[in-house]
């Protein structure tokens, strides 16, 4: 039987119609969804980190000793409902972080800290607000190995009368864990009058034994200098939101600190 060109065209159109009609019924051939994934945090190790989404290795990597913020995407096809994000050390292949996402979420996001071979949650900093300073801390007392909770006393030190005026306090912070945020108002550190005396003013963050006004160094081989020893902090007169991870780095018997992350 011969089929002319017109008949062949009609047959082709008939074969196409069921597929086209099924398009509105979520036919699997058309059921695709791009799923964005935001990845951020801080890698405090000397290892570069590799990223894999499902079975696909990303060209992007997470640098060593650095904050990171990058994005990936996965295209769901057919009836696929989940996808797995995997992060590992690039040089050793050691697994670092895994998380599975569900298609119905619409997008994915992870935020983590990788430090000393361990993963922990990376908290969100408060948004920067006018005339406000927000602070989040993680304190790592690797020299004294102090293991009890501490308070971060945030305030102003008036030099001439030697007075520390506490403005805010973050209480009961365990070593090696993130604190809750504290927010204070910005203030001037220009020379100013205090009880009738013109004095210099400095911004200080003191570390006390929890529930006291006793420096945590009391009873150790190290001393806290009232004028110069302080946890890391930003400028006092400019609005900011800061997250600090810091360690002990004494100079002789005087306690000092080393900032591992200023974020």
What is the token pair recorded at 221?
A: 């081989």
Range of the domain at 78: 32-121
In a domain, 17, yes or no: no
My answer on whether 250 and 167 are in the same domain is yes
In a domain, 236, yes or no: yes
Q: Is the pLDDT of residue 10 over 80?
A: no
Q: According to the model, what pLDDT value does residue 30 have?
A: 59
- Give me the phi and psi of 103, to 5 degrees please: -55, -40
Can you tell me the distance from the alpha carbon of 141 to that of 162, in angstroms, rounded to the nearest whole number? 27
- 238 vs 16: which has the higher pLDDT: 238
Q: Is the pLDDT of residue 20 over 70?
A: no
The answer to whether 112 and 123 are in contact (CB under 8 A) is no
My answer on whether 143 and 112 are in the same domain is no
pLDDT mean over 77-92:
96
Q: According to the model, what pLDDT value does residue 29 have?
A: 52
My answer on whether 96 and 181 are in the same domain is no
- Per-residue pLDDT of 22-77, as tens digits, reads 445 555 555 799 999 999 999 989 999 999 999 999 999 999 988 899 999 999 99
For residue 17, what is the enclosing H or E element? helix 5-22
For residue 138, what is the enclosing H or E element? strand 132-140
Q: How many domains does the chain have?
A: 2
In a domain, 127, yes or no: no
Q: According to the model, what pLDDT value does residue 4 have?
A: 55
My answer on whether 156 and 247 are in the same domain is yes
Confidence tier at 14 by pLDDT (50, 70, 90)? very low
- Per-residue pLDDT of 204-251, as tens digits, reads 999 999 999 999 999 999 999 999 999 999 999 999 999 999 999 999
Reduced 3-state DSSP string for 55-97: CEEEEEEECCCEEEEEEEEEEEECCCCEEEEEEEECCCCCEEE
Identify the domain boundary among 73, 93, 121.
121
For residue 5, what is the enclosing H or E element? helix 5-22
My answer on whether 258 and 179 are in the same domain is yes
Q: According to the model, what pLDDT value does residue 31 have?
A: 78
- Per-residue pLDDT of 125-161, as tens digits, reads 999 999 999 999 999 999 999 999 999 999 999 999 9
In a domain, 20, yes or no: no
CB atoms within 10 A of CB 39: 24
Q: According to the model, what pLDDT value does residue 116 have?
A: 87
Q: According to the model, what pLDDT value does residue 13 have?
A: 46
């Amino acid at each position: 039987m011969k089929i002319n060109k017109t008949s062949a065209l009609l047959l082709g159109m008939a074969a196409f119609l069921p597929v086209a009609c099924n398009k509105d019924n979520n036919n699997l051939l058309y059921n695709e969804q791009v799923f964005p994934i935001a990845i951020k945090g801080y890698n405090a190790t000397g290892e570069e980190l590799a990223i894999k989404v499902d079975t696909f290795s990303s060209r992007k990597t997470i640098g060593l000793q650095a904050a990171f913020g990058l994005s990936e995407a996965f295209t769901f096809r057919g009836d696929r409902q989940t996808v797995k994000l995997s992060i590992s050390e690039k040089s050793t292949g050691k697994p670092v972080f895994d998380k599975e996402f569900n298609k119905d979420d619409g997008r994915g996001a992870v935020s983590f800290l990788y430090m000393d071979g361990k993963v922990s949650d990376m908290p969100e900093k408060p948004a920067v607000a006018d005339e406000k300073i927000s602070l989040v801390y993680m304190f790592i007392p690797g020299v004294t190995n102090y293991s009890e909770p501490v308070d971060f006393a945030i305030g102003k030190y008036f030099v001439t009368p030697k007075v520390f005026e506490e403005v805010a306090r973050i209480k009961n912070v365990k070593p090696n864990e993130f604190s809750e945020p504290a927010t204070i108002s910005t203030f001037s550190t220009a020379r100013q009058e205090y009880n009738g005396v013109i004095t210099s003013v400095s911004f200080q963050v003191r570390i006390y034994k929890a529930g006291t006004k006793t420096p945590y160094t009391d009873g150790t081989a190290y001393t806290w200098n009232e004028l110069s020893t302080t946890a890391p902090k930003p400028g006092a007169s400019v609005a900011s939101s800061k997250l600090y991870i810091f360690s002990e780095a004494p100079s002789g018997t005087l306690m000092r600190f080393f900032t591992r992350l200023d974020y």
